[in-house]
């Protein structure tokens, strides 16, 4: 199955800083989502991005499917951005099945 590696595993930022989270995956995919899991455990959809670039406010994401990686950019971070960010690609025979990485735990300090 697809192997997913996210980096860095932990990240501490001062409010207002920018950051880049990376997701490497081991096989071709036709589905990839980024999620934010808030401190209450809710998984919030950030992007559905199997390829290309998307932006939503302070967040943007880029997936280069041919090179098997995706990046999540957070600009002007806020304390409410704290939580765990998961990358979840999917594909192959079970196209609906997402494979989650271990996540990047982000802490934004005021």
Partner 1 sequence: EAGVVQSPRYKIIEKKQPVAFWCNPISGHNTLYWYRQNLGQGPELLIRYENEEAVDDSQLPKDRFSAERLKGVDSTLKIQPAELGDSAVYLCASSFLYEQYFGPGTRLTVT
Give residues in contact with partner 1 (CB under 8 A): 4, 30-31, 33, 35, 40-43, 45, 48, 50, 86, 88, 90, 94-98, 100-103
Q: Are 41 and 35 in contact (CB under 8 A)?
A: no
Question: Whole-number minimum distance, CB 58 to partner 1, in Å?
Answer: 21
Phi-psi region of 92 (alpha: psi -120 to 50; beta: other; left: phi over 0): left
Question: Min. distance of Cβ 73 from partner 1 in angstroms?
Answer: 20
Nearer to partner 1, 1 or 16 (CB): 1
Query: Measured from the CB atom, is 19 or 89 closer to partner 1?
Result: 89
What lies within 8 Å, CB to CB, of 78 at 6+ separation is 15, 58, 108
């Amino acid at each position: 199955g697809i192997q997913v590696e996210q980096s860095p595993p932990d990240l501490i930022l001062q409010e207002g800083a920018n950051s880049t989270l990376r997701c490497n995956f081991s096989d071709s995919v036709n589905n990839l989502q980024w999620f934010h899991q808030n401190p209450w455990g809710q998984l919030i959809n950030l992007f559905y991005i199997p390829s290309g670039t998307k932006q939503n406010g302070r967040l943007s994401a880029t997936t280069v499917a041919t090179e098997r990686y995706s990046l999540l950019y957070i600009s002007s971070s806020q304390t409410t951005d704290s939580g765990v960010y998961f990358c979840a690609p999917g594909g192959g025979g079970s196209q609906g099945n997402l494979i989650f990485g271990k996540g990047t735990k982000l802490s934004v300090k005021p």
